[in-house]
Chain A
Amino acid sequence: MLSYLLRRLVFLAGSLFLASVVLFLLLRLLPGDPANSLLSVGASPEQIEAARHAIGSDRPLPEQFAHWLHQLVTFDLGDSFVSTLPVGPEITSRLNVTVPLTLLAFVLAVVVAVPVGYAAALRAHTRFGTLISGVSQLGIAVPVFWVGMILITVFALRLGVLPAGGFPQDGWERPGEALNSLALPVITVALVMSASLIRYVRSAALDVLGSDYLRTARALGSSFTRAMWRHGLRNGAVPVISVLGVELATTLLGAVVVETVFALPGLGSLLAQAVAQHDYPVVQGVLFVSTFAVLVIGFLSDLAQRLIDPRLRGRLSSGGTR
């Protein structure tokens, strides 16, 4: 297990380095000069040159890359081209919105999807099961922003029970207000996320229900509940957890949509703005942090699967296939 952990950590570091190279290069391939975004009509050629010099976009690429790597190693993400303020603290403050949003939505989605998906599997051949299947299929097809707009119309504009958007200026110093403003976005994300989760849970549960080991356990005298609890849960959990990891990562990266709809000052809206402004340090910083988060999520979900399923563990410690 220890060697597995070590190897995973090395892999994580390697992936991050690769990601930083790709990020850097891809951004430089984009047409346009970031200095443009600093200027307005009326800017003189001298001002344009001065702006390029100030942000370093006039220096050779290898030099810019070395600078960026050096910053990464020293845990400094640099300063924004546009605002000239440090990127690190900006990202941290945005994470205060995006992380709670993602995690709350994730928890809510799991809480909804696991029982519903399980129930759908138990009653797979009844009208109830078909209905759940159908509704979740529909849920997958519906875009996040549309769900958000419907919820805003109903709960904020019509009923007036929840805010239509925004986040309190004092943030989590006012936990009540902060939770209140996250309520609709969390429900929005959770609804869409649970729609696909329900289908995964359902199919995992169906596998378990049709399995030989469950039948054997029942034949040996276990009650259905006990057999499901002791044998079914563990087996069913493995595929679901790997999906959960992917879903969590997708939600984190997809935050830009829901954050725009609800005017939340999160990581996604920061990224959207920075891309539009060619603000490379901010784009690099946000993507780097997101990449890091996704890799960590992947790592944790692998780890969880191994803890649950000893067969995977065995394979790994003997230097196995992964």
Chain B
Amino acid sequence: MRTKSVPLLGGALLVSLSLALTACGSGSGGGSKDASGSSGSYDKNATIGIGSLYEPQNLDNTGGGGQGVTEALNGNVYEGLFRLTDTGKVENLLAKDYKVGPDGLTYTFTLRKGVKFHSGKTLTSADVKYSIEKVMAEDSQSARKSSFDVVKSIATPDADTVEVTLSAKSISFVYNLSYIWIINADAKNLKTSEDGTGPYRLDKWTRGSALSLARFPGYWGTPATNQKVVFHYYKDATALNNALITNAVDVVTSEQSPDALDQFENNPNYKVNDGNSTTKLLLAFNDRVKPFNDVKVRKAVTSAIDNKKLLQSVWGDHGTLIGSMVPPTDPWYEDLTKVNPYDVALAKKELAEAGYAKGFGFTLDTPNYDPHPTAATFIKSELAKVGIDVKINIITPDEWYTKVYKNHDFSATLQEHVNDRDIVWYGNPDFYWGYDNKQVTAWVKQAEESDTTERQTALLKKVNTKIAEDAASDWLYLYPQIVVAGSKLSGYPLNGLNSQFYAYGIKKG
């Protein structure tokens, strides 16, 4: 099943066979640093081998290219009006600057001059209009499509100016634009070829095996610090690690096999980097149905599970406990791990108050790929201690999508949610977990229509605290984002926000 990154305003999880684990966060504020370069000399003509588990399905991110296409092409081959940096900041890229009208509904973007597509054509406002409309189009499979429902019209008064009118205020609009690739409006065959403005052009894509990028000599900005980048695709983590050990690749974008880390951590030839991820593992209750429509029951279950021990058993010393939906890289992060502490006595008390002193039983729909089955077994044993009997029901991602996501036919489920800023789903009562709190819904809406990021941040912090107090779900832990690289390599991204992997700053030598 294919992965895609999802809309900003509501990030989401990927239901993906090859599991999107950490790779797909969409980025946002918060800080991490680029892997700092050994500032010494480097080989300007180096070829960088990048190992990844996420092969693109095709090269079109509105045609179902999936997570892999974002990883390989975003920022490397295609650029947006804005760039989401590895630290989660939004910077001007193809937009030189922009103005927002007094009503907050009109955005005027001025394009950078002298930008050329790889085909040689000069970038104009018509290309920008085309690119935004491509994401909004009826046949667009972009998971970000719904984020652009607020766009009412796009005008191009001259070749360097784009004017977008919104139907409602949207403070995330500029941030959302960082996901939109600016594509030559005349380009054809975007599923197998490209025409972007990035520092690399597509060299060759061999399906099932590798995708290579070569430095684009006509790039408008700072040229890439290497001549060529080859993404090598693997189906399983062992093959990927073997490639790194045998120097078939220089860096692995997202390590998914914690057991394998030892061989790199104790080896001076490699560097293991712990970055920030946005992927959260959730025990999501169906908040509509008994017994999980009772806040007390949800709180009791949350307090009965030792998340720290679970994280330790899955990821060793990596990963973070969060206590709510917001990862540290989101601007509205707060440490809420104390709201529902691990406390078996408290859990028993809450269960008794809810009328379940003798416990109860429920079915846990568990996706069939790691780490879900492991987590399910752990949860079963933890909850047995407070008299709750868990029946583990293993399902495929496909069944999960139909049964849980579409039909809401479940009591509780496990799922990883990969995107940043996806707390806003708690403001949608129709979302699969059915959390329905009028106040939270209003806060989420007001946050999006805020005039300032301060107000947006303040409102979403309230949402965050409220859902934690209500134990709307049990946020088990935040995944680590681990990039392993040869020690001669520097300048690679560490956080993999929104699945992107900027390669243009990687230095070898």
Interface residues of A (CB under 8 A from B): 31-33, 36-44, 47-48, 50-51, 54, 82-85, 90, 93-94, 152, 156-157, 160, 163-167, 169-171, 260-263, 265-266, 269-270, 272-273, 276-278
- Residues in chain B near residue A163, CB distance under 8 A: 246, 248
Residues B42-90 near A (CB distance < 8 A): 57-58, 63-64
Additional pairs, 15, CB under 8 Å, beyond known A269-B208, A276-B17: A32-B399, A38-B64, A40-B6, A41-B432, A50-B139, A84-B64, A85-B192, A160-B246, A164-B245, A165-B242, A165-B248, A166-B248, A169-B210, A170-B206, A272-B235
Residue of A nearest to B11 (CB): A42
Decide yes or no whether B12 CB sits under 8 A from chain A.
yes
A85 touches B58 (CB 8 A): yes
- Residues in chain B near residue A278, CB distance under 8 A: 1, 398
Decide yes or no whether B465 CB sits under 8 A from chain A.
no
- Minimal beta-carbon separation of B449 from chain A (angstroms): 20
A157 touches B246 (CB 8 A): yes
Decide yes or no whether B442 CB sits under 8 A from chain A.
no
A171 touches B58 (CB 8 A): no
B191 touches A169 (CB 8 A): no
Q: If A40-B14, A82-B64, A260-B235 touch, does A265 touch B398 (CB 8 Å cutoff)? A: no
Decide yes or no whether B143 CB sits under 8 A from chain A.
yes
Grouping DSSP codes into helix (H, G, I), strand (E, B) and loop, the A interface class, with mixed when no group exceeds half, is: loop
A41 touches B15 (CB 8 A): yes
A37 touches B139 (CB 8 A): no
Best-surrounded residue of B18, B207, B208, B405 (most CB of chain A within 10 A): B208
Q: If A83-B58, A276-B17 touch, does A42 touch B398 (CB 8 Å cutoff)? A: no
Best-surrounded residue of A43, A94, A269, A272 (most CB of chain B within 10 A): A43
A83 touches B138 (CB 8 A): no
- Residues in chain B near residue A33, CB distance under 8 A: 398, 402
- Residues in chain A near residue B246, CB distance under 8 A: 156-157, 160, 163-164
A85 touches B239 (CB 8 A): no
Contact of B209 among A39, A40, A166, A272 (CB under 8 A): A166
B402 touches A32 (CB 8 A): yes
A40 touches B15 (CB 8 A): yes
Residue of A nearest to B14 (CB): A40
Interface residues of B (CB under 8 A from A): 1-7, 10-18, 57-58, 63-64, 138-139, 141, 143, 145-146, 191-192, 204, 206-210, 212, 230, 232-236, 239, 242-243, 245-246, 248, 396-399, 401-402, 405-406, 417, 432
The 7 A-B pairs of least Cβ separation, nearest first, read A265-B208, A164-B242, A41-B12, A37-B1, A32-B398, A265-B209, A42-B12
Task: Please report the C-alpha to C-alpha distance between residue A38 and residue B243 in the assembled complex, in whole angstroms.
Answer: 30
A41 touches B139 (CB 8 A): no
B248 touches A164 (CB 8 A): yes
Task: Please report the C-alpha to C-alpha distance between residue A27 and residue B191 in the assembled complex, in whole angstroms.
Answer: 26
Q: If A32-B398, A260-B235, A263-B243 touch, does A41 touch B209 (CB 8 Å cutoff)? A: no
B13 touches A40 (CB 8 A): yes
- Minimal beta-carbon separation of B294 from chain A (angstroms): 26
Residue of B nearest to A80 (CB): B57
Task: Please report the C-alpha to C-alpha distance between residue A152 and residue B15 in the assembled complex, in whole angstroms.
Answer: 32
Contact of B141 among A51, A157, A262 (CB under 8 A): A51
Q: If A40-B13, A82-B2, A164-B242 touch, does A47 touch B141 (CB 8 Å cutoff)? A: yes
Residue of A nearest to B17 (CB): A276
Contact of B191 among A32, A84, A170 (CB under 8 A): A84
Task: Please report the C-alpha to C-alpha distance between residue A251 and residue B355 in the assembled complex, in whole angstroms.
Answer: 61
- Residues in chain A near residue B12, CB distance under 8 A: 40-42
Contact of A40 among B3, B230, B399 (CB under 8 A): B3
Q: If A32-B398, A41-B405, A50-B138 touch, does A277 touch B1 (CB 8 Å cutoff)? A: yes
- Residues in chain B near residue A44, CB distance under 8 A: 145-146
- Residues in chain A near residue B245, CB distance under 8 A: 157, 164
B143 touches A277 (CB 8 A): no
- Residues in chain A near residue B7, CB distance under 8 A: 42
- Residues in chain B near residue A50, CB distance under 8 A: 138-139
A38 touches B2 (CB 8 A): yes
List 22 contacting pairs A-B, 8 Å CB cutoff, sorted by A.
Answer: A33-B402, A36-B1, A41-B417, A42-B146, A44-B146, A47-B141, A47-B145, A50-B139, A82-B2, A93-B206, A152-B242, A164-B242, A165-B248, A169-B206, A169-B210, A170-B204, A260-B235, A261-B239, A269-B208, A277-B1, A277-B2, A278-B398
Q: If A164-B242, A260-B236, A269-B235 touch, does A276 touch B248 (CB 8 Å cutoff)? A: no
- Minimal beta-carbon separation of A166 from chain B (angstroms): 6
B239 touches A167 (CB 8 A): no
Best-surrounded residue of A37, A48, A160 (most CB of chain B within 10 A): A37
Task: Please report the C-alpha to C-alpha distance between residue A33 and residue B399 in the assembled complex, in whole angstroms.
Answer: 9
A171 touches B206 (CB 8 A): yes
Residue of B nearest to A38 (CB): B64
Task: Please report the C-alpha to C-alpha distance between residue A270 and residue B397 in the assembled complex, in whole angstroms.
Answer: 19
Contact of B204 among A41, A165, A169 (CB under 8 A): A169
Task: Please report the C-alpha to C-alpha distance between residue A263 and residue B249 in the assembled complex, in whole angstroms.
Answer: 13
Task: Please report the C-alpha to C-alpha distance between residue A44 and residue B243 in the assembled complex, in whole angstroms.
Answer: 39
Best-surrounded residue of B6, B64, B143 (most CB of chain A within 10 A): B64
Task: Please report the C-alpha to C-alpha distance between residue A260 and residue B417 in the assembled complex, in whole angstroms.
Answer: 27
Task: Please report the C-alpha to C-alpha distance between residue A141 and residue B146 in the assembled complex, in whole angstroms.
Answer: 54
B398 touches A263 (CB 8 A): no
- Residues in chain A near residue B236, CB distance under 8 A: 260, 263
- Residues in chain B near residue A276, CB distance under 8 A: 1, 17-18
